[in-house]
Amino acid sequence: MLMYRVFAKPQKASIYLRQIIVEIDNIGISSLTIVAIISVFMGGVITIQSAFSITSPLVPLYVVGYTTRESIILEFSPTIVCLILAGKVGSNIASEIGAMRITEQIDALEIMGINSAGYLIFPKIAAAILIFPFLIALSMFLGIAGGYVMGVSSGACTGYEYVYGIQAFFEPWKLYYSFTKVLVFAFIITSVSSYYGYHTEGGALEVGRSSTNAVVYSSILILLFGLILTNIFLSH
């Protein structure tokens, strides 16, 4: 029912468009720093762990780069970064809409004759679907770059071996799989968080509870749909 109202025809497209741009800033641009920091560090950690695990002299060292690329593209950037964004963006959305609910701002929109669900939630979903792929692409790039820096500086592998590894056996359809996951997760994070925010009743305590529920259920759904999509794309 809520989603029916969210995707109802916009009452004034120009206002919705303006809101989408605002939300791209709120949801996407403001998450750049956290995504960048986590990606660089995780890329470094994955590289060192991969190198540490390779004990046989028969395994070439370019496998370090290969493993890092696969881990980052297939799972770390699309799933783990989205789980982190579920915490940051999800709690933000739920508390923002929840606070609007308990301070009667949503009632004010409704009384003005505005479809509050569409006005508040649709721009957030659209913005996340538009900006998340860019955030995740950046995360992939920085993760692999972080791996290079740590791999070379720690002596785990040479720069040449790492670069050779990240290019070896590359299959472009894996990016298609990853970005499909990202789009689904973007929808899950924004819609679940908006749902909990929109249905907040009570006071500040309930806003906090909605925020927690938004993060918990978004995370569970991300893991569930991650498994389903992996099963669809990767199982033989």
Partner 1 sequence: MIEIKQINKSFGDRHVVKDVSFVFKRGQTNLIIGESGCGKTTIVKLMVGLHAIDSGEIIFDGHNFNTLGQTQKQEIRTEIGMLFQGGALFDSQTLEENVRFPLDMFTKLTKAEKMDRVNFCLQRVKLEGKNKLYPAELSGGMKKRAALARAISNNPKYLFCDEPNSGLDPKTSIIIDDLIHDVTHEYNITTVIVTHDMNSVIEIGDNIMFVYKGENWWTGDKTQIFNVANKELRDFVFASEFIKKVFKQHNT
Q: Which is nearer to partner 1, 16 or 41 (CB)?
A: 16
Which of 7, 104, 159, 204 contacts partner 1 by CB under 8 A?
104
In the set 34, 49, 88, 105, which binds partner 1 (CB under 8 A)? 105
Task: Tell me how far, at minimum, the Cβ of 153 lies from partner 1, in Å.
Answer: 44
Mask for 1-30, x = binds partner 1 (CB under 8 A): ----------xx--x---------------
Provide the terminal-to-terminal Cα distance of the chain, rounded to the nearest Å: 37
Rule CB under 8 A: say whether 172 interacts with partner 1.
Answer: no
228 binds partner 1 (CB under 8 A): no
How far is the C-alpha of 170 from the C-alpha of 69, rounded, in Å?
A: 9
Which parts of 124-153 interact with partner 1 (CB under 8 A)? none
Give min distance, CB of 99 to partner 1, in A. Answer: 8
Residues in region 63-102 near partner 1 by CB under 8 A = 99-100
Residues 173-212 close enough to bind partner 1 by CB under 8 A:
none
SS3 track for the chain: CHHHHHCCCCCCHHHHHHHHHHHHHHHHHHHHHHHHHHHHHHHHHHHHHHHHHCCCCCCCCHHHHHHHHHHHHHHHHHHHHHHHHHHHHHHHHHHHHHHHHHCCHHHHHHHCCCCHHHHHHHHHHHHHHHHHHHHHHHHHHHHHHHHHHHHHHCCCCCHHHHHHHHHCCCCCHHHHHHHHHHHHHHHHHHHHHHHHHHCCCCCHHHHHHHHHHHHHHHHHHHHHHHHHHHHHHHCC
Which is nearer to partner 1, 110 or 206 (by Cβ)? Answer: 110
57 or 113: whose CB is closer to partner 1? 113
Radius of gyration of the chain (CA): 21
Give 30 or 53: the residue with its C-beta nearer to partner 1. 30
Q: Does 112 bind partner 1 (CB under 8 A)?
A: yes
Of residues 9 and 236, the one with the C-beta less far from partner 1: 9
Residues at the contact surface with partner 1, assessed by CB under 8 A: 11-12, 15, 99-100, 103-105, 107-108, 110-115
